[in-house]
């Protein structure tokens, strides 16, 4: 009798020591153990943001919903009451508002980019600010970034034929900016490439990327460098004067990432590798990551490697040359691959995996608790 009582007490003590897995009833995600009772951090933030919606800012923009959050702050979908159109408002971090030099630089770059009018470049409308906050008003693109779309693909990679039309549109937009508008991007990467619901690609942050770069992922102030490290050319890394050939290098790094899931150099001493090492071929990288099929067409290997050349003279001298050498289709070609089609497959797979995950959690909690042996106890 006494033994059963002791056994019951031990089982009860074990149950009390077992961490309780809390799942948010609203979004289905696991609530961290250190979160306040009943508080899902993500949903609490969403609630606060919902409360901020429908407010008017700067006397003309009515906030609608949050489009994204990151190191650079929040991007809102808003309605411009003066021009009666939806826009994306990219709010600036407090640090930029407080530093006059950064603010003036952004003003100059934004003013210069107001003249960028191309179907595959996100149009910048205005730059507004006061003593407390500021934002850039730009064209609203209902779609996804290439970075997010790649992450939703099987093996997290695209195949060359899937991105050919997008690259044709990208090269056309780069050529327009480099040769007609005389503007370089400085931070070209898959996260700055949007695909709308029609399947058309658009470049974001053109010409203002240097000012808007996330402090956690960019290099600035040191030797005048700017850009996201893993996409930067050796010349950018060394703080040399920026040219359109830096964008050509970043274009190559972006193609490499889209086809292999990783940038050319992504671990270890990245600075040194960018300046000294030659990246493995995309076929080799896909083999390393067990991606099938591993083989990448020879012409894609050659052109991407040329874009990543350390020597400026060995790179393609224009985005048009890249498109011609890759034998890309016309930029006006319609693609059958859209964010909606990719996401539909992903949502179905995610729902199935999430159901299996939480079912396993429930089954685990239903199992009888094992009795503890004295030697298995741990003191803290």
Domain boundaries, the chain: 53-140, 143-339
**Angstrom distance (rounded) from CA 322 to CA 200:** 19
pTM, 2 dp? 0.76
Among 74, 180, 178, 223, CA closest to 136? 74
pLDDT tens figures, 183-197: 999 999 999 999 999
Highest mean pLDDT among 14-18, 81-85, 169-173: 169-173
**Angstrom distance (rounded) from CA 165 to CA 303:** 16
Helix (H) or strand (E) holding 272: helix 270-276
Please, which residues have CB within 8 angstroms of residue 200's CB and are 6 or more apart in sequence?
Answer: 119, 120, 169
**Angstrom distance (rounded) from CA 380 to CA 367:** 26
Q: How confident is the model at residue 21 (pLDDT cuts 50, 70, 90)?
A: low
Q: What percent of the chain has pLDDT over 70?
A: 69
Q: Do domains 53-140 and 143-339 have the same CATH topology?
A: no
Angle at 298 between CA 295 and CA 301, to 5 degrees: 85
pLDDT tens figures, 346-369: 555 444 444 444 444 444 444 444
**Angstrom distance (rounded) from CA 267 to CA 283:** 19
Q: How confident is the model at residue 206 (pLDDT cuts 50, 70, 90)?
A: confident
Average pLDDT, integer, range 280-305: 97
Average pLDDT, integer, range 275-285: 97
Indicate if the pLDDT at residue 16 is higher than 60.
no
The string of DSSP codes covering 278-292 is PPPPHHHHHHHTT-S
Q: How confident is the model at residue 215 (pLDDT cuts 50, 70, 90)?
A: very low
**Angstrom distance (rounded) from CA 231 to CA 274:** 9
The Cα-based distances of 52 to 66, 143, 243 in angstroms read 10, 23, 41
Angle at 72 between CA 66 and CA 77, to 5 degrees: 25
Indicate if the pLDDT at residue 239 is higher than 50.
yes
Q: What is the structure's pLDDT at 115?
A: 82
User: What architecture is the 143-339 domain classified under in CATH?
Assistant: Orthogonal Bundle (1.10)
Average pLDDT, integer, range 62-91: 88
The answer to whether residues 326 and 162 touch, using CB atoms and an 8 Å cutoff, is no
Please, which residues have CB within 8 angstroms of residue 194's CB and are 6 or more apart in sequence?
Answer: 122, 141, 143, 144, 145, 146, 201, 202, 203, 204
Task: For the chain, report the end-to-end CA distance as a whole number of angstroms.
Answer: 31
**Angstrom distance (rounded) from CA 180 to CA 320:** 13
**Position with higher pLDDT, 8 vs 202:** 202
Report the mean per-residue pLDDT for the chain.
Answer: 80
CATH of domain 53-140: 3.30.200.20
Q: What is the structure's pLDDT at 140?
A: 96
Tokens, residue 206: 């053109």
Q: How confident is the model at residue 263 (pLDDT cuts 50, 70, 90)?
A: very high
Q: Which residues are designated catalytic?
A: 187
pLDDT tens figures, 106-149: 888 888 888 889 999 999 999 898 877 888 999 999 999 999 99
């Amino acid at each position: 009798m006494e033994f059963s009582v002791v056994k019951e007490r031990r089982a009860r003590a074990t149950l009390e020591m077992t961490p309780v897995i809390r799942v948010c009833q609203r979004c289905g995600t696991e609530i961290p153990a250190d979160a306040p009772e009943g508080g899902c951090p993500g949903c609490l933030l969403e609630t606060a943001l919902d409360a901020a919606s429908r407010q008017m800012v700067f006397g003309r923009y009515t906030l609608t919903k949050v489009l994204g959050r990151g190191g650079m702050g929040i991007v809102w979908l808003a309605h411009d009451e003066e021009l009666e159109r939806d826009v994306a408002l990219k709010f600036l971090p407090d640090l930029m508002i407080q530093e006059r030099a950064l603010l003036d630089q952004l003003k100059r770059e934004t003013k210069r980019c107001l003249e960028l009018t191309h179907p595959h470049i996100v149009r910048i409308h205005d730059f507004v600010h006061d003593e407390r906050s500021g934002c850039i008003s730009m064209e609203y693109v209902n779609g996804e970034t290439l970075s997010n779309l790649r992450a939703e693909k099987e093996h997290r990679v695209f195949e060359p034929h899937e991105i050919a039309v997008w690259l044709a549109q990208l090269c056309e937009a780069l050529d327009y900016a480099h040769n007609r508008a005389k503007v370089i991007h400085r931070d070209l990467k898959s996260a700055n490439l949007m695909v709308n619901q029609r399947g058309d690609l658009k470049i974001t942050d053109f010409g203002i990327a240097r000012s808007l770069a996330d402090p956690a992922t960019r290099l600035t102030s040191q030797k005048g460098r700017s850009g996201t490290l893993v996409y930067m050319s050796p010349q950018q890394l060394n703080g040399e004067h920026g040219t359109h050939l830096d964008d050509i290098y970043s274009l190559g790094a972006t193609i490499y990432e889209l086809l292999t899931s990783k940038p050319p150099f992504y671990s270890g001493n990245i600075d040194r590798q960018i300046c000294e090492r030659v990246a493995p071929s995309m076929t080799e990288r896909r083999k390393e990551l067990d991606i099938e099929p591993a083989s990448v067409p020879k012409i894609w290997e050659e052109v991407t490697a040329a874009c990543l050349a350390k020597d400026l003279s060995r790179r393609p001298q224009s985005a048009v040359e890249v498109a011609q050498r890759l034998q890309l289709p016309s930029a006006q070609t319609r693609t059958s691959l859209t964010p909606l089609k990719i996401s539909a497959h992903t949502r179905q797979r995610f729902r199935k995996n999430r159901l299996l995950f939480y079912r396993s959690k429930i089954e685990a909690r239903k199992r009888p608790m094992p009795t503890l042996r004295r030697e298995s106890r741990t003191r803290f």
